[in-house]
A = this chain, B = another copy of it.
């Protein structure tokens, strides 16, 4: 393809050589699938990404959504995209046959979404939210709601959203004020304001279905009083039509990036006529919503990974073509200039980008696999894989988001002055990716979730399972002499992480929650590096196996490239945990104990 945004060979490698996704096909739920059906889906997704999504990447950025007379106008191609995704069965591909799905592994669906996002991140705002909202309805709503709302959503005709945030309640959901008053007709009257609602309204679909958190009058305070409602923009009428549901768009945000998808502010029940339909039981809304939130967190990690990947390929292409300078040892100006890919510093930046994007993708697929293994097996397996998924979700969300920003920035740097210009794609990637550490739970929230909940849940059971999984990779690597230095480095990293964890837990045991969580963000950063190091060892292991067998020259180069990128990760990225651990092993209360007047001047 003219403009490469993802590596096809890499996907096969990760799915079938690193993660052995084929093991899923022996489970009854996936019995109709084979490697061939999955590859066909991926090939088709790649074509759709290249032919429909990528061509509109820049145009959707330039023509950002506008609010006109209460309606949000988006690029007309959005309607085509939603139609294609709906008619092609993409939105419900991982769902059960009985709702029209294809029972495709989540892992494969995520690969297809990754291709879409690598081609055009903003476009996947529409699809991922629709899939997630439909899944939430299918899991927790009444049959009547399922029958009415899910089919048009999976057909790409109606948009799904998650409507949580309010002006006074972003990270702190316990403070939402949107009210739901029961009526005798069974529905609730909704009133309030929601802000930062992605794809919260637009003219690329015929209706919008908000999965909304609100408080039923008289319920308990805080998160225990949050209920989940389905609040459509237009509600179905008795005669099969649609009528306005008093959901009004009060603003569209003007954003740094992610301009192909509107983020909206909604006003609910301005005229006292906004109807919401309770999903599940009252006051359990946040628990239900966590399903969609966790899926969205993986989705965000996947999208960040996808932008990182597209930026990597764009800067790789530039680095191979751009002539500039000579090697330090051959400065003779009479010699021709070399491609900048020959410069050590450029290679370092490219290796960083590749290590981040392919390492992050491997984590995302690991999570997809855990989701597939958890969703289709007995209770014991379910518990095991859900715990692993829970533990890794903060990493899968934040590692690609945070490191993706740096990685795209390095890609921009490779293009020099051109990287700073809108005529080249890097500056858009740089703007687009910056949203990811913010939405669906900031990095700080992910960090507190990791250390404050995931690490300690069930007496550290998830951590124990994680160590088992990593131990397995380390044991399997022992057969390969060339991997030994890296298994040793990974073991050292695990030991540092263990020591840091024990040190921080001492604060928790003294019930000093403030200091326990004070540097949670650094803890998340450290754990993220360890997790990605594990994934790189797994990739090194699969590459070593590949090299041991007969393989083509191209495959040999591919495997050697994987091994080289693994080496890069262990030599350049892994040492960063030294600095993080040094801080995390300290015991002062530098941020907790200070007074805010420190900032006076």
**Residues of A bordering B, CB below 8 Å:** 7, 9-10, 165, 168-172, 174-175, 195-196, 221-223, 253-258, 263, 316, 320, 323-329, 331-334, 337, 339, 341-348, 350-351, 354, 405, 409, 412-413, 416-417, 419-423, 427, 430-431, 434-435, 437-439, 442-444, 447-448, 452, 511, 513-514, 516-521, 554, 557-558, 560-561, 564-565, 567-568, 571-572, 575-580, 582-583, 586, 588, 590-592, 594, 596-601
Contacts and interface: CB of A to CB of B under 8 A. Distances in A.
B583 A324 contact: no
A323 B578 contact: no
A162 to B, nearest CB: 14
B254 A423 contact: yes
Contact of A172 (B255, B320, B325, B334): B325
Contact of A597 (B521, B561, B580): B561
25 contacts: A9-B601, A10-B601, A169-B324, A171-B324, A172-B325, A253-B423, A255-B422, A256-B427, A256-B431, A263-B417, A328-B452, A328-B517, A344-B519, A344-B592, A347-B591, A347-B596, A348-B521, A413-B443, A431-B431, A558-B600, A561-B599, A568-B590, A572-B583, A575-B578, A578-B579
A448 B328 contact: yes
A599 B341 CA distance: 10
A417 B328 contact: no
A596 B342 contact: yes
A582 B582 CA distance: 13
A144 B344 CA distance: 46
Nearest to A175: B337
A327 B514 contact: yes
Contacts of A577: 579
Contact of A514 (B170, B257, B344): B344
A513 B168 contact: no
A591 B348 contact: yes
A323 B416 contact: no
The A interface, classified by DSSP as helix, strand, loop or mixed, is: helix
A416 B431 contact: no
A497 to B, nearest CB: 15
A403 to B, nearest CB: 12
A451 to B, nearest CB: 11
Contact of A324 (B170, B438, B592): B170
A490 to B, nearest CB: 15
Identical chains in the assembly: 2
Contact of A420 (B169, B256, B430, B591): B256
B571 A578 contact: no
Contacts of A334: 221-222
A216 to B, nearest CB: 15
A565 B327 contact: no
A590 B561 contact: no
Contact of A434 (B171, B341, B412, B567): B412
Query: Shortest 5 CB-CB distances between A and B: which pairs?
Result: A222-B333, A575-B582, A172-B325, A578-B578, A344-B518
B518 A416 contact: no
Given A168-B323, A434-B430, A590 B567 contact: yes
A583 B575 contact: yes
Given A168-B324, A169-B324, A350-B599, 11 more contacts: A170-B417, A223-B333, A253-B423, A256-B421, A320-B599, A348-B521, A413-B437, A561-B601, A564-B598, A575-B582, A576-B579
A187 B411 CA distance: 43
B554 A600 contact: yes
A268 B28 CA distance: 72
A316 to B, nearest CB: 6
Contact of A594 (B332, B347, B413, B576): B347
